[in-house]
Amino acid sequence: MTPTRADAAVTGVFVPAARPGVRAIGVGTEAIVVDEAVDGLHLLNAQATLVWACFDGRSTLAAIATDLADVLDVPFERVLLDVVAVTADLVDQGLVADGRAAPPAEPVAVAPPSMRVDGAGTPRALEEPPNP
C-alpha cells in the first residue's frame, strides 16, 4: 500500500528520505526519479529537484526551508509552504518516507568473490572467464 498524506503528516518536523529503490538522476536543472519497485519514472521540475537534493534522511523540512530561504533570500514561511507541498506530493507518489521511522529490513547483498575488495581496501578487477 502506498503511503498518503493521511498516513504520514508532512509538516515542518517531517524528515524526508527517499524510499528504498528510489533514486534521482539529474538532467540539467531537473531530475528524473526512478522507482525501481514499480519500474516508474517521475519528472521533477527545477524547484522540486532543489528540494529533493536537500533530502538527507536527517534534516527536518523546517531546517531545509530555513537553509533554502537563506540562500534564495525568500521569506521562510513561503519556502516552508512550498517545501511541504513538494514533499507531500512525493509522499503521495510513494517516493519519500519519514526518515524518523525505522527503515524496513533489507537483505545485505554480498559481492561475488571476483568483486570483493582486497585487504588494503582496493577493489579488485573482475576476472575474465576463460574462453572455451
Q: Are 42 and 31 in contact (CB under 8 A)?
A: no
The span from the CA of 31 to the CA of 53, in Å, is 10
- Mean pLDDT estimate for the chain: 79
DSSP 38: T
In a domain, 43, yes or no: yes
Model pLDDT for residues 5-45, shown as the tens digit of each residue: 444 589 999 999 999 999 998 988 999 999 888 888 999 99
CATH number where 72 lies = 1.10.10.1150
Mention every residue, 6+ apart, whose C-beta is less than 8 A from residue 71: none
Range of the domain at 57: 16-103
Q: For the chain, how many structural domains are there in total?
A: 1
Cell triple for residue 125? Answer: 578487477
pTM of the model: 0.70
Q: How many residues does this entry show for the chain?
A: 132
- pLDDT tens-digit series, residues 58-78: 999 999 999 999 999 999 999
Whether 113 maps to a domain, the answer reads no
In a domain, residue 11? The reply is no
- 91 located within any domain: yes
